[in-house]
């Protein structure tokens, strides 16, 4: 791992987090990815320890009781957390809550801070984010049928969402809905906070994804909003600014995802190396002596190094100049990193043979679920076209 982005204040934190992951989190993996109800209490206990160690809030600003690290610094921690599928949750830095936290922190009202943000940042509640609709391709986010009509001082929401991740057990959802249908496409939608116990909020099902419907944090819901009423005070920012907020939410969000993918790739590479060095083909002859496997390891090492540098250089740019100025870099990492992660996972699985197909390691879990990295938050194809168009704009000048 390059030390190019390592800051003096980050160094000791990084070491503590690495130690905690190794000693406290990885041993929990043997219960994963089984039932959420089964694993949640153990994770709660780890959170208590994390607080006691002063490691709470790696991603939070000081005003929310956090460490106030830069995105570039947090990115390096996020990679470490991602080496286990339980890391981010243990440190309360898990999606989608981390994105909602950032959003509410930047754009929420005092009421919203007090009611929703503070318990969220404290890890007392969970939240979800309802944007994608099954009827519309995600590549054009302005295609949106969910409406929120202002009646008196209440918004009445109707619509159909899916892939509302972690809705099961969440206390509130942030919902994207059309409030200003008369506006231009990008100025039609708003974001609204909907407590999940509001009448008219209904989880249709936890979608079976890659064979698993999951529960709790580990699930992706299909949700109906049926005359679901929330007070006007639940509007985040201004009406019609939903897409601007989404851009803000997605900028650092993509860094979070990308660093998570780097961490997964790093872990998979580590597993591949260890297994190759141990597994014998014949007496005294290990997989590590196979030239093809050596080359997979070398290529994986180089690719992960590249991915990390790309993501952290993008984080640096966001820290320095804001997400808007790093738009091209963000598009680039969004398709660059998943390709590398999925390739490393595929090779690690292949090296493990039958064991790799089984759930006796985490490789099969990541192999099937992280396939979504090329789809959510914009499919590869969308980001590639977006980047090309940005480049063309530069040339038109």
In the complex, minimum distance from the CB of residue 267 to its own copies, in angstroms, rounded to a whole number: 14
Cβ 310 to its own copies shortest distance, Å = 5
CB of 379 to its own copies, least distance (A): 6
**Distance in angstroms between the alpha carbons of the first and the last residue of the chain:** 38
Quick one: 53 or 298, whose CB is closer to its own copies?
298
Closer CB to its own copies, 245 or 293, in the complex: 293
Q: What minimum distance in Å lies between the beta carbon of 206 and its own copies?
A: 11
In the bound complex, what is the minimum distance in angstroms from residue 129's beta carbon to its own copies?
14
CA 389 to chain centre: 26
Task: Print the SS3 string covering 84-136.
Answer: CCCHHHHCCCCCCHHHHHHHHHHHCCHHHHHHHHHHHHCCCCCEEEECCCCCC
Q: At its nearest, how many Å lie between its own copies and the CB of residue 341?
A: 14
By beta-carbon proximity to its own copies, the closer residue of 26 and 207 is: 207
Considering the complex, state which of residue 118 and residue 142 has its C-beta at the smaller distance from its own copies.
142
Cβ closest to its own copies, residue 138 vs residue 200: 138
Q: Residue 189, SS3?
A: strand
Nearest CA among 366, 368, 370, 367 for reference residue 29: 366
Closest approach of Cβ 283 to its own copies, in Å?
A: 9
HSE toward the beta carbon, residue 12, CA cutoff 13 A: 6
Q: Which of 249, 270, 306, 318 is nearest to 73 (CA)?
A: 318
Comparison of 120 and 315: residue with beta carbon closer to its own copies: 315
Question: Using an 8 Å Cβ cutoff, are 66 and 50 in contact?
Answer: no
Nearer to its own copies (CB atom), residue 252 or residue 356: 356
d(CA 284, CA 275): 14
For residues 140 and 39, give the distance between their C-alpha atoms in angstroms, rounded to a whole number. 37
Q: Residue 72 is encoded by which pair of tokens?
A: 């570039």
């Amino acid at each position: 791992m390059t030390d190019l982005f390592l800051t003096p204040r980050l160094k000791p934190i990084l070491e503590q987090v690495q130690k905690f992951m190794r000693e406290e989190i990885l041993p929990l993996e043997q219960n994963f990815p089984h039932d959420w109800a089964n694993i949640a209490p153990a994770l709660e206990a780890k959170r208590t320890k994390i607080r006691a160690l002063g490691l709470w809030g790696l991603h939070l600003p000081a005003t929310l009781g956090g460490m106030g690290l830069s995105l570039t610094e947090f990115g390096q921690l996020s990679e470490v957390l991602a080496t286990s599928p339980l890391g981010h949750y243990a440190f309360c830095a898990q999606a989608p809550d981390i994105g909602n936290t950032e959003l509410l922190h930047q754009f929420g009202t005092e009421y919203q801070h007090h009611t929703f943000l503070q318990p969220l940042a404290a890890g007392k509640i969970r939240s979800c984010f309802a944007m994608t609709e099954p009827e519309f391709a995600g590549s054009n986010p302005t295609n949106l049928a969910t409406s929120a009509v202002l009646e008196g001082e209440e918004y009445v929401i109707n619509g159909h969402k899916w892939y509302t991740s972690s809705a099961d057990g969440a206390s509130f959802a942030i919902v994207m809905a059309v409030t200003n249908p008369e506006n231009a496409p990008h100025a039609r939608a708003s974001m609204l906070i909907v407590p999940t116990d509001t009448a008219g909020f209904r989880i249709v099902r936890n979608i079976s994804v890659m064979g698993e419907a999951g529960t709790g944090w580990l699930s992706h819901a299909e949700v109906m909003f049926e005359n679901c009423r929330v007070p006007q005070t639940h509007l985040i920012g201004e009406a019609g600014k939903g897409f601007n907020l989404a851009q803000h939410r997605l900028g650092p969000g993509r860094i979070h995802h990308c660093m998570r993918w780097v961490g997964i790739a790093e872990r998979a590479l580590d597993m591949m190396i260890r297994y190759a060095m141990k597994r014998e083909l014949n007496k005294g002859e290990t997989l590590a002596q196979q030239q093809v496997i050596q080359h997979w390891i070398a290529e994986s090492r180089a690719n992960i190094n590249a991915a990390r540098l790309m993501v952290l250089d993008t984080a640096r740019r966001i820290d320095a100049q804001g997400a808007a100025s790093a738009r091209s870099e963000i598009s680039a990492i969004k398709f660059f990193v998943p390709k590398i992660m999925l390739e490393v996972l595929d090779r690690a699985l292949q090296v493990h043979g039958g064991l790799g197909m089984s759930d006796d390691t985490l490789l099969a879990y990541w192999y099937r679920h992280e396939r979504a990295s090329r789809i959510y938050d914009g499919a590869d194809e969308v980001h590639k076209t977006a980047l090309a168009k940005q480049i063309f704009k530069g040339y038109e000048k």
